[in-house]
Amino acid sequence: MTAQEDLAETDDRADSKGLVEEIEVHGHIVDSLILPKILDRILQMGGSFEIRKCEIGARRVDPSHARIAVRARDSELLDAILGDLVEHGATRVDSEDAKTVAADIAGAFPDNFYSTTNQQTQVRIAGRWIDVDDQEMDCGIAIDPKKRRAWCVAMADVPLGLPIVVGHAGVRVIPTERSRDGDVFGFMGSAVSSEKPKAVSVRAVAESIRSTRSAGKKVLLVGGPAIIHTGSAGHVAALVRAGFIQKLFAGNALATHDIEQALMGTSLGVSISKGEPIEHGHQHHLRAINTIRRLGGIRAAVDKGVLTSGIMYECIKADVEFVLAGSIRDDGPLPEVIVDTLRAQSLMRAAIKDVGLAIMVATALHSIATGNLLPAKVKVVCVDINPATVTKLLDRGSFQTVGLVTDAEPFLRGLAAELVGESKA
Amino acid sequence: MTNNPRILMCSPDYYGIEYEINPWMNTRVNADPARSLTQWRALVRILEDLGATIERLEPVPRLPDLVFTANAGIVYHNLFLSSRFRFEVRQGETPCFDRRFVELGFLVETLPEGMFFEGAGDALFCGETLFAGYRFRSDALSQQWIGERLGVETLPLELVDPRYYHLDTCFCPLSSDQAIYYPGAFDDYGRSVLAARVDRLIEVHADEAVSFSCNAVVVGRTVILNDVSPRLKRDLEANGYAVRATPLSEFIKAGGSAKCLTFRIDGEDAASWKREPIRRLPPRPSDPRKIDLHSPPES
């Protein structure tokens, strides 16, 4: 009889790099202090560990069992640590190397390619487990055996001859750690419901933003035009100005209506201050696009002093990286909008590398597109008045998402109040 | 329980320092054969005085350390788990021991190949628990294997001083809840384990440990050892033990003393199992080094 429990790990897996090897220890490892000794030895020698499995014997005569992943910065140190642990009765867990096949067609994987998830993955190369870089779902894994490097590669980006992992041998997925702190991700889980206390949730999101920033990671906002329609542009602008948002993903619409509001005080022809349609207001967004196109772009409009407020203005001023991805129904579009979908995707892919938290507000299209690119370790908050948006995101594998079913405005107003200290912008 | 102690011993006919496998051995300082025999016979006499039956093991030329019968293996009821010596020079002893234990009516088993285990030199019961030394001679993996084979709790203790290369040179259970030990032979983990798991620990000082005070034979309430300091004698007597010192200096030249020269066939008095009915053993465990746990991590 054994009592099974999952134990925590020593390091922040998201930040740890290097080589990994699994060991097993078996026997009376608790009362003999062999287990604590082994864990201490790993740390003393400069490595780190994750306890993958630990079964404690229920009676004194029952043996206990632990499987531990040992991580070290290089092969030499890992060998030294493993050599030491073997002396204390640890055994190495055998495995086989990942198999690769060189891409025989550019822009496609070999048959039977390993299709990735968004969870941290490791592949075994020359007897060693290494982390796969740029984790992303629905990709293949490319390998450089000489440099002992592996990374996720999108189908369209495969050059001829690139070694691609095939089959499941020598590939393993590391489950995303469960949250240990009491943040929004801890207590909310992934349930989607409109019946949750919003003030608490907003405070928790604000706290997540602060902790992401203090961890040196960036905050990404993925937004739809409803942010502008609902009168939230000022809240977002305040958040950008105060340095709480470092990246923006959106489409033509958010930028267009933001600029429309900045230039003409309306969003889709509706006065933001009065909430009423303005005569000939339906033309406003076209006139806004036209103005920007005549000036050569959003940045040019800011430089020339034409655009002086709003989200896009603050992004330019604060040097926030933005990717505006186009769609088939776009008016204009604005010159900064990228109309080549694959190019937009690869720019987004490059931009998410240092993102620690993604806040997706009122957009299904851009949220799902971004969710597809994000590794599971990046936390996602999805805010939408329609529960289906959050559900869609979850259904497409972004299970790390916390959903808030609410209108964009009260959420963003609350967030700005929490972080910037203003109740109205 | 100590009515019929049976002890296996091997006469030092071919004993000598022929190689160096521990810091005590120096081939230029050989043992004196006549004095070795005199010391060994004196030990036999004391044990027989105490009512022990001495079973003999035939000495064999070119196996000088065969006198150290403690390293033969360990017994548990009717099972004899035979040693796997780390050094080749001692590996020839194993067939001699195995034959003798078959003759003595034991079921003889060996450990998986490649494991190192040096018998009662490194595995001593104190109560229900098997305390097991590792690092210099036995390895931790084989100690865990033995625990599983016998279905007993086994606590491997790392030995950190090469002079105390076997557990029986620095730890000696007196009874099921009492032992003498030399703390300097263990690290903090080992000392913590002993402090937590042995109710009454008598500490042996460094100068006493060097004269092999821990390498003692316990027969009932008598402790037989090479040399005893007045302090340790007082401590042992205060705990109700009589002490018999008998010089074994010729054997210390090879890194052994009273305990090393004896093998308690009927189980040490400190072992709880000898007072319990024989029970069915768990199935023989597989070699842990050959288990391929290639199952993917749980998600």
Q: Do residue A355 and residue A253 come from a single domain?
A: yes
Whole-angstrom CA distances from B244 to A156, B219, B259 are 86, 11, 13
Which pLDDT band, with edges at 50, 70 and 90, does A342 fall under?
very high
Query: pTM of the entire structure?
Result: 0.64
Q: Do residue A235 and residue A333 come from a single domain?
A: yes
Say which of B126, B170, B214, B260 is annotated catalytic: B260
pLDDT attached to residue B1? 44
For residue A111, the distance in angstroms to the closest alpha carbon of chain B comes to 23
Supply φ then ψ for residue A400, to 5 degrees.
-80, 10
Q: Do residue A251 and residue A115 come from a single domain?
A: no
pLDDT attached to residue B290? 56
Q: Is the dihedral of CA A147, A148, A154, A158 positive or negative?
A: positive
**Interchain pair A174, B140: CB under 8 A:** no
**Interchain pair A31, B155: CB under 8 A:** yes
Which pLDDT band, with edges at 50, 70 and 90, does A79 fall under?
confident
Q: Do residue A83 and residue A128 come from a single domain?
A: no
Report helix, strand or coil for A229.
helix
Q: Which of B134, B197, B294 lies nearest to residue A94, judging by beta carbons?
A: B294
Q: Do residue A249 and residue A390 come from a single domain?
A: yes
DSSP B60-93: -TT-GGGG-GGGGEEEETTEEEE-B-SSHHHHTH
- Is the CB of residue B148 less than 8 Å from the CB of residue B194? no
pLDDT attached to residue A120? 85
For residue A88, the distance in angstroms to the closest alpha carbon of chain B comes to 5
Kindly report the CA angle at A100 between A98 and A106, in degrees rounded to 5?
Answer: 145
Q: Do residue A320 and residue A261 come from a single domain?
A: yes
Residue A178 lies in a domain: no
Average pLDDT, chain A: 88
Chain B CB contacts of A173 under 8 Å are 296-297, 299
Residue A255 lies in a domain: yes
Q: Do residue A291 and residue A385 come from a single domain?
A: yes
How many Cβ pairs within 8 Å bridge chains A and B? 92
B220 in the Ramachandran plot: left (φ > 0), alpha (ψ -120 to 50) or beta?
Answer: left
Q: How many domains does chain A have?
A: 3
- Is the CB of residue B144 less than 8 Å from the CB of residue B288? yes
Q: Do residue A121 and residue A222 come from a single domain?
A: no
**Interchain pair B135, A87: CB under 8 A:** yes
Whole-angstrom CA distances from B51 to A381, B7, B217, B219 are 81, 11, 13, 9
Point out the least confidently predicted range of A48-52, A194-198, B42-46, B236-240.
A194-198
Chain B CB contacts of A53 under 8 Å are 297-298
Q: Which of B135, B196, B298 lies nearest to residue A53, judging by beta carbons?
A: B298
Q: Do residue A271 and residue A373 come from a single domain?
A: yes
Nearest-Cα residue of chain B relative to residue A170 = B294
Residue in the structure block whose two tokens are 């910037």: A420
Answer yes or no: B260 catalytic.
yes
Tens of pLDDT, residue by residue over A203-215, are 999 999 999 999 9
Residue A213 lies in a domain: yes
Strand-strand pairing, B123-126 and B129-134 = antiparallel
Identify which of A124, A158, A125 has the alpha carbon closest to the alpha carbon of residue A139: A158
For residue B186, the distance in angstroms to the closest alpha carbon of chain A comes to 13
Chain B CB contacts of A36 under 8 Å are 189
Q: Please say which residue of A92, A107, A142 terminates a domain.
A: A92
**Interchain pair A93, B189: CB under 8 A:** no
Return the structure tokens found at A244. 């709480």
**Interchain pair A61, B144: CB under 8 A:** no
- Is the CB of residue A285 less than 8 Å from the CB of residue A269? yes
CB count, 10 Å around CB of B83? Answer: 30
Chain B CB contacts of A54 under 8 Å are none
Which positions in chain A have a beta carbon within 8 angstroms of at least one beta carbon in chain B? 24, 26-29, 31-34, 36-37, 52-53, 60-61, 63, 67, 86-89, 91, 93-96, 172-175
Domain residue ranges in chain B: 6-272
- Is the CB of residue A6 less than 8 Å from the CB of residue A77? no
Chain A CB contacts of B190 under 8 Å are 33
Cα B211 from Cα B10, distance rounded (Å): 22
Q: Do residue A49 and residue A128 come from a single domain?
A: no
pLDDT attached to residue B289? 66
Whole-angstrom CA distances from A416 to A244, A419, B209 are 10, 5, 72
Tens of pLDDT, residue by residue over A259-279, are 999 999 999 889 888 888 888
Q: Do residue A222 and residue A311 come from a single domain?
A: yes
Cα B147 from Cα B23, distance rounded (Å): 29
Q: Which of B116, B150, B158, B295 to mutate to test the interface with A (most CBs of A within 10 A)?
A: B158
Which amino acid, A43? L
Domain B6-272: CATH architecture, name and number where available: 5-stranded Propeller (3.75)
Q: Do residue A115 and residue A71 come from a single domain?
A: no
Which positions in chain B have a beta carbon within 8 angstroms of at least one beta carbon in chain A? 128, 134-135, 139-141, 143-145, 147-148, 151-158, 189-190, 192-193, 196-197, 288-289, 291-294, 296-299
For residue A53, the distance in angstroms to the closest alpha carbon of chain B comes to 8
Point out the least confidently predicted range of A167-176, A288-297, A358-367, B180-189.
A167-176
Per-residue pLDDT of chain B (299 residues; tens, 9 = 90+): 446 899 999 999 999 999 999 999 999 999 999 999 999 999 999 999 999 999 999 999 999 999 999 999 999 999 999 999 999 999 999 999 999 999 999 999 999 988 999 999 999 999 999 999 999 999 999 999 999 999 999 999 999 999 999 999 999 999 999 999 999 999 999 999 999 999 999 999 999 999 999 999 999 999 999 988 899 999 999 999 999 999 999 999 999 999 999 999 999 999 999 999 888 888 888 877 654 433 333 33
For residue B290, the distance in angstroms to the closest alpha carbon of chain A comes to 9
Strand-strand pairing, B263-264 and B242-245 = unpaired
Say which of B166, B170, B172, B214 is annotated catalytic: B166
Summarize the confidence of residues A179-195 as an average pLDDT.
53
Residue A179 lies in a domain: no
Number of alpha carbons in the 13 Å side-chain half-sphere of residue A209: 26
Q: Which of A7, A26, A28, A37 to mutate to test the interface with B (most CBs of B within 10 A)?
A: A28
For residue A226, the distance in angstroms to the closest alpha carbon of chain B comes to 37
Q: Which ranges in A230-340 belong to alpha helices (H)?
A: 233-241, 252-264, 284-295, 298-303, 311-317
Residue A8 lies in a domain: yes
Whole-angstrom CA distances from B287 to A32, A234, A347, B10 are 21, 68, 53, 32
Chain A CB contacts of B298 under 8 Å are 52-53, 175
pLDDT at A99 over 80: yes
Residue A74's domain comprises: 2-92
Name, in order, each residue with C-beta under 8 angstroms of A336's C-beta and a sequence gap of 6 or more: A255, A297, A298, A299, A322, A324
pLDDT attached to residue B245? 96
- CATH number of the structural domain spanning residue A120: 2.40.420.10
**Interchain pair A174, B297: CB under 8 A:** yes
Tens of pLDDT, residue by residue over A208-243, are 999 999 999 999 999 999 999 999 999 999 999 999
Summarize the confidence of residues A23-49 as an average pLDDT.
94
pLDDT attached to residue A193? 61
In A73-115, beta strands by DSSP E: 91-92, 99-102
Q: Please say which residue of A59, A74, A92 terminates a domain.
A: A92
**Interchain pair B297, A27: CB under 8 A:** no
Q: Which of B153, B193, B272, B279 to mutate to test the interface with A (most CBs of A within 10 A)?
A: B153
Q: Please say which residue of A173, A206, A227 terminates a domain.
A: A173
pLDDT at A315 over 80: yes
pLDDT at A398 over 70: yes
Cα A30 from Cα A52, distance rounded (Å): 16
Return the structure tokens found at A150. 């592996």
**Interchain pair B156, A63: CB under 8 A:** no
